[in-house]
Structure 1
Amino acid sequence: MTVALIVLGAAVGAPLRYLADRAVQARHDTPFPWGTLTVNVAGSALLGFLAGLPVPDGVMAVAGTGFCGALTTYSTMGYETVRLVEEGARFHAVANVVVSVAAGLGAAYCGLAVARALA
């Protein structure tokens, strides 16, 4: 049953990641991967929020592991960083790593803090 919940959450999270990434990136004329950063920060905040709530295992499987796991895409962040280096955009590559990690951790912490304040 847990695997089915994870698959269900991922089936929603993955297309949403793609659509949100494309929508955000289309609004920026820069090599910096704003779309990937956006979905990673949003997913980190949501996962932090879920982690701070007393949610049942099934909810964490579908929303946390499935949805947030498919929404966030740190493998794409890694790929885009390598691509930026190969294109000579070293500043953007370093900024991508630093901002992605710092913003993701910060968003997760903020989500956790909000959940704890509400619980």
Structure 2
Amino acid sequence: MTIVHLIMVGLGGFFGAIARFLISKQLNAKAAIPLGTLTVNLAGAFLLGMISGAKADPTLALLFGTGFMGAFTTFSTLKLEMLEFLLKKQKWQFYLYTFLTYIIGIFLAYLGYLLGSQFQ
């Protein structure tokens, strides 16, 4: 690990966090389920799949994979939002959100991996 690696992760994280904030603020307030969180997590799954499939240069993988995607996607917010659905007894929203996040997310990560592997 070098200072360049740390800078790449930090730089990617800076822009990933800003992108997530802007998308979440724009989309979460307008729907029955948190579309902002869903959007960043599904997009992140696809893009991280592409980065992984493309076997990106290690420095670029730190910038985009670890840095940007690490800050862009969110596991903790997802869990909090799922818990809120359960506590409010909003079961259909809980099941829909869970299905979309996990099933579609895994599919998109795989699709991204397949597409990314075409760029090797």
TM-score in terms of structure 1 length:
0.91
- Structure 1's 86 and 117: CA in aligned 2 closer, same or farther, altered over 3 A? same
Tell whether 2:25 aligns with 1:25.
Answer: no
Over aligned residues, Cα RMSD in angstroms? 1.3
Question: Paired residues, what number?
Answer: 117
Partners in 1 of 2:31 and 2:59 — Cα distance?
41
How far apart, in 2, do the equivalents of 1:93 and 1:29 lie? 13
For 2:37 and 2:48, how far apart are their aligned partners in 1? 16
SS at match of 1:73: coil
Q: Runs of 5+ in structure 1 lacking a partner?
A: none
Equivalent pair of 1:8/1:66 in contact (CA under 8 Å): yes
Deviations 1:17-73 (A, max 9, x none): 0111122224x342x111110000001111000001132111000100010011011
The 8 Å contact of residues 27 and 34 in structure 2, kept in 1 or not, is answered as no
Return closer, same or farther for 1:116/1:21 CA change in 2, 3 Å cut-off.
same
User: 1:10 aligned to 2:51?
Assistant: no
Identity of aligned residues (%): 30
The 3 A distance-change label for structure 1 pair 29 and 45 is closer
Runs of 4+ that moved beyond 3 A: none
Residues in 2 aligned to 1:50 and 1:18: alpha-carbon distance in whole angstroms: 22
